[in-house]
Structure 1
């Protein structure tokens, strides 16, 4: 098994259990304890986990750098992005939030659309695609989270109205509150929701049953939720949102 695939497996195992033992992981993956220790050291440097004596524990997803979060469940995020992209109507105007799952949607878009985003990664992905009109909401650059935010970026968003605001999530609580780890990120997400006719949420299963400090919206404000698993116990009774599992 290649190193990158092995590290993805380790992160998946850690996600399911919140704690990982070197000895158990080595047996499951058929490698030495030292190989697992080296993998965990690299993943800790990326901000993906905390090493402990004999293993590792999961960390707060909202506090992770976006580049570190992007390697978690990349295939699932691609499926979520592709499923949402397939539902975008031709000619729509979209707000696209910064994030790895919304980036996957941008990569999968095949229809003509206007894309308004605060994500440099999304802008770089679509800049040469003639079917997509790009508007970049620039402002203060956050290299850790890979996004523009602040008053200048919000002022750009305020000049436009979108058919759909498509957001990622740092966390979704069991009671249905979408939250973010950074205040400026939450501000940008709220601005997009308020200036769009409807909002969609893209969130892999890692994001559910967690809470971050800054409130973005309640699930009642979204008409569609795309994920890779059904979320047992998630309170969507107060929402008319359609829950779509990307297969």
Structure 2
């Protein structure tokens, strides 16, 4: 007896939560239905914002696609932990490219007051947060403001980014998935993030736990183009373990994590 549509929906959501992805042909084989039926179910789930469709199936959708105000309330403690770990990477006298978004804003607030550095950002929110930082130099890149993330995007912003350089780039994403790579929900914002990362010697991704294993529509970068990932996700999280196995440097907020290979010496 075949599943009813509502039962298939529950089965797909359960599979997505348990395995982190849906392969349409496998589900069709398991349930004895056509791949077209599975794809229709996935289209319906995607329309409700419950999954992100990809070729051959679906991935978990990122909750970070909500508007800027709503994202401030999503895992604030996790974002603070990620921000603290990231701020510790910024060395005295260095130049930092700081992306926009709520986690990056937390980084700005956590930079030590006595840290002399240069912060380059395309986020007016982050630039404003650093006005009270006594010794940090702040360079604001301009362009059309993408209100979802409170950042400048578009051709003017990308051109401005191409004329700066930095030691470190701290980049936010809405999804960090082993196969889909690093993703976000807007094409122009993805292009801006690529432009920023290209101007830094090292690039680390800021990804609080809700973004791990999730995916959005537009790819920012593949894993091989970044130095590592900073996350508060459990080191035993299946996606984190898979990333480590693939050679991705994962800096967690758990100091006892044996997979954390970051340099604590300051060199």
TM-score, shorter chain, exceeding 0.5: yes
- 1:201 is matched with 205
1:49-128 equivalences under 5 Å are 60-110=62-112, 111-128=115-132
Give the Å deviation of 1:100.
0.9
Give the Å deviation of 1:174.
3.1
Q: Distance in 2 between matches of 1:84 and 1:59?
A: 25
* Conserved 8 A contact 1:176-1:219: no
> 1:165 aligns to what SS in structure 2?
strand
- 1:232 is matched with 238
- 2:32 is matched with none
> 1:98 aligns to what SS in structure 2?
coil
* C-alpha distance after superposition, 1:55-98 (max 9, x if no partner): xxx97424311221121111111111011111211111111111
Q: Distance in 2 between matches of 1:186 and 1:59?
A: 17
Higher mean C-alpha deviation, range 214-223 or range 193-202: 214-223
* Conserved 8 A contact 1:92-1:114: yes
Unmatched 5+ stretches in structure 1: 1-16, 19-48, 51-57
* Conserved 8 A contact 1:119-1:136: yes
- 1:144 is matched with 148
Choose the corresponding residue for 1:217, options 196, 218, 221: 221
Choose the corresponding residue for 2:183, options 172, 175, 179: 179
* Conserved 8 A contact 2:68-2:149: yes
* Conserved 8 A contact 1:174-1:208: no
> For this pair of structures, how many residues does the alignment match?
193
RMSD: 2.2
* C-alpha distance after superposition, 1:38-59 (max 9, x if no partner): xxxxxxxxxxx99xxxxxxx97
- Please give the TM-score of this superposition, normalised by the length of structure 1: 0.72
Choose the corresponding residue for 1:166, options 166, 170, 174: 170
- Please give the TM-score of this superposition, normalised by the length of structure 2: 0.67
Q: Distance in 1 between matches of 2:173 and 2:244?
A: 16
| Higher radius of gyration, 1 or 2 | 2
Distance verdict in 2 for CA 1:112–1:224, change over 3 Å: farther
* C-alpha distance after superposition, 1:106-127 (max 9, x if no partner): 1111121111111111111002
Distance verdict in 2 for CA 1:59–1:242, change over 3 Å: closer
Q: Distance in 2 between matches of 1:60 and 1:173?
A: 10
* Conserved 8 A contact 1:62-1:212: no
